[in-house]
Amino acid sequence: MIVNNNIIEYINSLEGELPTHLKELEEIALRDNVPIIKKETQSLIRFLLTLIRPKRILEIGAAIGFSAIYMSEYMPEDCTITTIEKVEMRLEKARVNLSSCPKSDKISLLEGDALIILEELAGKEEGLYDFIFLDAAKAQYINFLPHILKLLSPRGILITDNVLQDGTIAGSRYAIRRRDRTIHTRMREYLYTITHMEELETVVIPIGDGVTLTTKR
């Protein structure tokens, strides 16, 4: 845990209720142990959507579609979302959830390997994205980054979730389970890269499971 649990509970208590269809989807995800964005991260995304008022949103890591549906609730009316997912088990649920949500006509689901899809998107002339949400395979963040930066508009923002790995990112790789060491190493590389690239401005925020906000200078 990154922040004291009492603080998290208090902050979350200040939030209003989710729309019914999102609340039901959130409950299903929690019941089935499907990882979705935490309430603190939801609040941050809602605030940023209101502030930035993007025209095109790109999400890398749709899971069951919760975050895309959440963003569609608070984005401008003329905004669209493109979301990417690879895992078939999650895709089955994402297809159903996204097709039945109130703004399904505003959301496009791309199925397949995010690295390949991002490279394809970067090679097209369909325009840039002014709001990119990265919440996919953590060990691949560093590999996704070059393509994401090509797709990010000059005044756009990149939101990266789960960067502090429940606080373990600050410790030695030898202090965590062997199977998690690759993710630990690559996430530290990702964080160092986006905080030290001269063309980027990045802030690390210890909410949820750790979030970074990145924009181009």
pLDDT (tens digit, 9 = 90+) per residue, 56-99? 999 999 999 999 999 999 999 999 999 999 999 999 999 999 99
Express as a percent the part of the chain with pLDDT over 90.
73
127, part of any domain: yes
DSSP character at residue 67: H
- The C-alpha angle 172, 192, 35, rounded to 5 degrees, equals 70
- Which residue would you say has higher pLDDT here, 111 or 12? 111
pLDDT (tens digit, 9 = 90+) per residue, 50-64? 999 999 999 999 999
pLDDT exceeds cutoff 90 at 216: yes
In whole angstroms, give the CA distance from residue 129 to residue 59: 10
In whole angstroms, give the CA distance from residue 51 to residue 60: 21
What is the residue range of 45's domain?
5-162
Give whole-number Cα distances, 75 to 51, 69, 71, 210, in Å: 10, 10, 6, 23
217, part of any domain: no
pTM assigned to the model: 0.93
213, part of any domain: no
- The mean pLDDT of the chain is 91
CATH of the domain at 149: 3.40.50.150
Domain count for the chain, please give it.
1
- Which residue would you say has higher pLDDT here, 51 or 166? 51
Backbone dihedral angles phi then psi of residue 74, each to the nearest 5 degrees: -120, 0
What CA dihedral angle connects 183, 47, 69 and 167, to 10 degrees? 20
193, part of any domain: no
Question: What is residue 173's predicted lDDT score, i.e. its pLDDT?
Answer: 65
The answer to whether 60 and 140 have CB atoms below 8 angstroms apart is no
Q: Which of 162, 187, 161 is nearest to 173 (CA)?
A: 187
